[in-house]
Structure 1
Amino acid sequence: MQWNSLLNPANGPFVALRRDVERHLGMDSEPTYAGLSVVESEDRWTVSVDVPGLSEGNVNITVQDGLLVIEGERQLNAPENARIVFNDRSAGKFRRTLRLREGVDVNSIDAQLQHGVLTLTLQKTAEAGAKKIAIRAGN
């Protein structure tokens, strides 16, 4: 019996195209097993990153020079005196980089890891919201 994976999205035909688009948008990714989404609401951005099997000690989050960097590493372990005969699970280091928009309060970024999903909450500053301009009546 031969073990193989018929569909491995990490090696699919559009991976290079997606990486080029991400770089153009100020995002960067290396092995793509850490899927990412960004959702905007009125007062915050929520970034969700898939990091199944990782704990807080395997993930680092930094903010510097307007960049939010999420990086970590997943080990592929086999018991002693055993060998891996098939694997299509992602392993190794990953790094996701997002360019922060103006109006992010970097001092209030909150990170929570639950059920293999890292959720970052980035609060907007008062300047980031819409500002109503009052109109004065002319004399």
Structure 2
Amino acid sequence: MNQITPQTASHDVEATQARQGSVQVPPVDIYEEDNAVHIVVDMPGVRREGLSIEVDNNVLSLEGEIQVDMPEGISATYAELRAERYARRFSLSHEIDAEAIEARLEHGVLRLILPKKDVHRSRRIEVQAA
């Protein structure tokens, strides 16, 4: 339990920036199983090349940027779409194997698998008959 937690202080800063239109705080779901923690992040419009995932000092940082491509020589008559940025940070427990984190982006949904270190995985111990 509590293998990963959203950082509340940074979340508050990001929420303030989101209201100003510069940064969106993407919604997440976090699931845990015996050997890993799974994070699902909704980042519509973000492409793989616009995504950055880093772990530094047990803090997982996710940033994604939406690029709106405008064809050359054409100017917008009316435009509601604009470049946006997503940002979210999480504190990782010492039980997460940060070197083995996997990420997959598909249709604007980022899925992260954060494996637990072997020493922290629960396992069944077989009792031998004497």
Does TM-score exceed 0.5, indicating one fold? yes
Superposed counterparts of 1:1-16, under 5 Å: none
1:50 corresponds in structure 2 to 42
TM-score (norm 1): 0.65
- Go from structure 1 to structure 2 and tell me whether the alpha carbon gap of 1:127 and 1:73 turns closer, same or farther (over 3 Å shift): same
CA contact (8 A) 2:100 2:114 kept: yes
1:83 corresponds in structure 2 to 77
Using the TM superposition, give the Cα deviation of residue 81 of structure 1 relative to its aligned residue in structure 2, in angstroms. Answer: 2.3
| Distance in 1 between residues matched to 2:60 and 2:100, nearest whole Å | 13
1:102 equivalent in alignment to 2:94 = yes
| Distance in 2 between residues matched to 1:76 and 1:57, nearest whole Å | 13
Specify which structure has the bigger relative contact order, considering alpha-carbon pairs within 8 angstroms and separated by 6 or more residues: 2
TM-score (norm 2): 0.69
Equivalent residue in structure 2 for 1:125, among 101, 117, 125: 117
Question: What is the count of residue pairs matched by the alignment?
Answer: 109
| Distance in 2 between residues matched to 1:67 and 1:98, nearest whole Å | 6
Using the TM superposition, give the Cα deviation of residue 114 of structure 1 relative to its aligned residue in structure 2, in angstroms. Answer: 1.1
- Go from structure 1 to structure 2 and tell me whether the alpha carbon gap of 1:49 and 1:113 turns closer, same or farther (over 3 Å shift): same
| Distance in 2 between residues matched to 1:116 and 1:91, nearest whole Å | 15
Equivalent residue in structure 2 for 1:66, among 58, 63, 72: 58
- Go from structure 1 to structure 2 and tell me whether the alpha carbon gap of 1:43 and 1:131 turns closer, same or farther (over 3 Å shift): closer
1:115 corresponds in structure 2 to 107
Give the greater-gyration-radius structure (CA): 1
| Distance in 1 between residues matched to 2:82 and 2:95, nearest whole Å | 35
Structure 1: 5+ residue stretches without partners = 1-21, 134-139
Structure 2: 5+ residue stretches without partners = 1-5, 16-22, 126-130
Equivalent residue letter for 1:71: E
Q: Per-residue displacement from partner, 1:63-94 (whole Å, max 9, x unpaired)? A: 00010000021134555222335x3x674222
Percent identity between the two aligned chains: 27
